[in-house]
């Protein structure tokens, strides 16, 4: 989730290219190490992981950073400072602001998690994701969904499909939905162009919603009689407390939009050129979060089962992920001069762009992955043409390539827990509320591979071949 202004990206491009071309593929081993730690420690040493996940993250960060700086000196330090100042800190500020504001909105009601009600929740969340972002929609609705299914034995699949649809695929229709589309907007893709993805998104989301409804109906029939009956006690009408937080949510959206249309210049922070509008945006987001905390009653947070652990877990683990991901991103940016040259060269049609962008976005940051393959397509079709002009030419003559890159980056973030930040936060909130979520590999083997991959294969035949 990166918010780079195109001018800042261009300024660092030559340095990144040289460094990325020199890095061997084995330099991503610490990144693989932290992924395996996230996948295996909760299974083999859950108590240790719960208390020491921050230390494990720091360990892998140091395993990469120390030799990287020793070998590449100032260039390495610049890359580390750059990813934390320009990428990680804004990433955490945005997540914290959305997590805080959404946590102050409490949806009350006597919800009984029937297949119909659950499907309606997922549909609403999918539609909201393009308006308030995948993180905003996920944080707003995950707690009501969990409460609605509290008495059900079979509910893990509901949380998983929530991740598929609300935390990922639903964010594909506007630049506000997911960061890759926002960075595309900053680089010249018209704001409303992403509405052209509506057929692909409606089809993919529609297939998953139908699959979910059929699966949940099957599980519903296996539930005990008690779970299928309305909860005992007085009926609670549908009410929403903390509605004033919608103002702060609007402020967050406004701050993000402002950083996309207002470009007053740059400041130098520890040698990193940072856009002023991004500092203003981050300041607005922090203010919105603090105002939410100051104006939301403690009872709303208590009734919403609001705690800081999910955002703390994301902050600690993604600090290590952002550090260790540096060589992978640099190699990608080096394009055909880097260690992944064979992959870059092999991607030459819409289907391959869809799968290459999606596969890397499942494990790496989907924003630079999006930009890598967008740049690759521009260079392939319009070499030597200025970026903004080339993007408009791509839309006019080869829009299917931009569609493949955009949908791959957004949709396939659902393939793993780390593919998109709200995936991890939804899982953490669900586990806090007693839902036994699958492990990293369990999520992939039980759900994303057997459900998402066939869906994406069908989408490939329908739209990109």
pLDDT value at 12 more than 60:
no
Q: Is the dihedral of CA 457, 448, 370, 94 positive or negative?
A: positive
Distance between CA atoms of 32 and 60, rounded to whole angstroms? 9
| pLDDT tens digits, 156-198 | 999 999 999 999 999 999 988 888 888 888 778 888 899 999 9
pLDDT value at 271 more than 60:
yes
Residues in the chain: 465
Q: What is the CA radius of gyration of the chain?
A: 22
Which of 84-98, 228-242, 306-320, 384-398 bottoms out in mean pLDDT, i.e. has the lowest? 228-242
Q: What is the mean pLDDT of the chain?
A: 88
Residue in this structure with the two tokens 């996309």, named with its chain if needed: 260
Q: How far is CA 191 from CA 126, 183, 194, in A?
A: 19, 11, 7
- Give the β-pairing of 239-241 and 272-275: unpaired
Q: Is the dihedral of CA 301, 303, 307, 311 positive or negative?
A: negative
- Residue 6 has what pLDDT? 46
**Phi and psi based region of residue 258 (left: phi greater than 0; alpha: psi -120 to 50; beta: remaining):** alpha
| pLDDT tens digits, 115-144 | 999 999 999 999 999 998 898 899 999 999
Distance between CA atoms of 21 and 34, rounded to whole angstroms? 24
Residue in this structure with the two tokens 């603090």, named with its chain if needed: 290
Distance between CA atoms of 393 and 308, rounded to whole angstroms? 46
Strand partners, 241: 106
DSSP 3-state of 428:
helix
**What's the CA angle centered on 351, arms 346 and 356, to 5 degrees?**
55
Tokens of 253: 């959206």
Distance between CA atoms of 164 and 414, rounded to whole angstroms? 5
pLDDT value at 230 more than 70:
no
pLDDT value at 229 more than 70:
no
Q: How far is CA 434 from CA 81, 149, 152, in A?
A: 38, 11, 12
- Residue 367 has what pLDDT? 79
| pLDDT tens digits, 378-419 | 888 887 777 788 899 999 999 999 999 999 999 999 999 988
**What is the model's pTM?**
0.86
- CA 246 distance to own-chain centroid: 22
Between 262 and 15, the more confident residue is 262
Tokens of 260: 């996309």
Treating both helix axes as pointing N-terminal to C-terminal, what angle do 198-222 and 387-411 enclose, rounded to 10 degrees? 10
- Residue 350 has what pLDDT? 94
Percent of the chain with pLDDT over 70: 94
Grade residue 259 by pLDDT with cuts at 50, 70 and 90. Answer: confident
- Looking at residue 335, the DSSP 8-state letter turns out to be G
Q: How far is CA 463 from CA 12, 202, 204, 207, 460, in A?
A: 35, 12, 11, 14, 5
Distance between CA atoms of 214 and 210, rounded to whole angstroms? 6
DSSP secondary structure, 212-275, as one string:
HHHHHHHHHHHS-HHHHSPPSSSPPPPEEE-TTHHHHHHHHHHHHHHHHH----EEEETTEEEE
Residue in this structure with the two tokens 């989408």, named with its chain if needed: 459
Residue in this structure with the two tokens 């905390």, named with its chain if needed: 293
Instruction: Find, among 437, 436, 427, 425, the residue nearest to 103 by Cα.
Output: 425
CA atoms within 13 A on the CB side of 267: 9
DSSP secondary structure, 103-146, as one string:
HT-EEE------HHHHHHHHHHHHHHHHHHHHHHHHHHHHHHHH
Given a contact cutoff of 8 angstroms between Cβ atoms, the answer to whether 428 and 437 are in contact is no
- Residue 13 has what pLDDT? 53
Given a contact cutoff of 8 angstroms between Cβ atoms, the answer to whether 180 and 158 are in contact is no
**108: buried, middle or exposed (CB in 10 Å: 19+, 13-18, 0-12)?**
middle
pLDDT value at 426 more than 80:
yes
Q: Is the dihedral of CA 364, 366, 370, 371 positive or negative?
A: negative
Residue in this structure with the two tokens 């999910």, named with its chain if needed: 310
Instruction: Find, among 102, 279, 90, 257, the residue nearest to 175 by Cα.
Output: 257
Instruction: Find, among 3, 6, 240, the residue nearest to 133 by Cα.
Output: 3
- Residue 111 has what pLDDT? 81
Tokens of 273: 């050129």
| pLDDT tens digits, 23-64 | 999 999 999 999 899 989 988 898 999 899 999 999 999 999
Distance between CA atoms of 105 and 210, rounded to whole angstroms? 29
pLDDT value at 309 more than 50:
yes
């Amino acid at each position: 989730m990166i918010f780079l202004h195109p001018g800042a990206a261009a300024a660092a491009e030559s340095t990144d290219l040289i460094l990325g071309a020199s890095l061997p593929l084995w330099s991503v081993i610490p990144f693989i190490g932290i992924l395996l730690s996230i996948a295996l420690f909760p299974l083999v040493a859950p108590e240790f992981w719960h208390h020491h996940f921050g230390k494990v993250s720091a360990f892998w960060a140091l395993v990469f950073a120390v030799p990287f700086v020793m070998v590449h000196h100032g260039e390495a330090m610049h890359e580390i400072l750059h990813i934390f100042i320009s990428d990680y800190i804004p990433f955490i500020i945005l997540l914290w602001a959305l997590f805080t504001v959404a946590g102050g909105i409490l949806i009350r009601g006597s919800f009984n998690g029937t297949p119909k009600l659950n499907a309606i929740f997922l549909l609403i969340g999918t539609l909201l994701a393009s308006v308030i972002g995948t993180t905003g929609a996920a944080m707003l609705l995950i707690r009501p969904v969990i409460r609605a299914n509290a008495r059900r034995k079979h509910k893990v699949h509901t949380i998983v499909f929530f991740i598929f649809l609300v935390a990922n695929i639903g964010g594909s229709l506007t630049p506000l939905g997911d960061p890759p589309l926002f960075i595309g907007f900053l680089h010249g893709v018209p704001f409303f162009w992403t509405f052209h993805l509506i057929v692909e998104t409606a089809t993919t989301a529609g297939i998953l919603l139908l699959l979910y409804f059929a699966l949940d109906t099957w599980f519903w029939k296996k539930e005990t009689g008690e779970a299928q009956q309305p909860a005992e006690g007085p009926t609670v009408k549908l009410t929403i407390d903390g509605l004033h937080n919608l103002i702060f949510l609007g402020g967050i959206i406004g701050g993000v939009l402002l950083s996309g249309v207002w470009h007053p210049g740059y400041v130098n922070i520890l040698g990193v050129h940072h856009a002023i509008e991004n500092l203003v945006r981050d300041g607005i987001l922090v203010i919105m979060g603090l105002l939410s905390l100051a104006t939301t009653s403690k009872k709303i947070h208590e009734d919403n089962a609001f705690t800081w652990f999910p955002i703390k877990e994301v902050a600690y683990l993604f600090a290590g992920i952002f550090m260790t991901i540096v060589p992978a991103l640099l190699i990608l940016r080096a394009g055909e001069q880097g260690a992944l040259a064979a992959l870059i060269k092999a991607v030459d049609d819409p289907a391959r762009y869809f799968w290459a962008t999606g596969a890397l976005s499942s494990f790496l940051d989907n924003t630079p992955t999006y930009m890598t393959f967008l740049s690759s397509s521009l260079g392939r079709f319009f070499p030597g043409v200025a970026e903004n002009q080339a993007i408009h030419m791509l839309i006019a003559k080869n829009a299917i390539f931009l569609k493949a890159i955009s949908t791959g980056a957004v949709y396939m973030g659902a393939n793993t827990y780390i593919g998109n930040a709200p995936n991890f936060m939804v899982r953490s909130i669900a586990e806090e509320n007693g839902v036994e979520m699958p492990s990293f590999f369990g999520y992939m083997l039980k759900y994303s591979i057997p459900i998402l991959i066939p869906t994406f294969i069908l989408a490939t035949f329908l739209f990109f071949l």
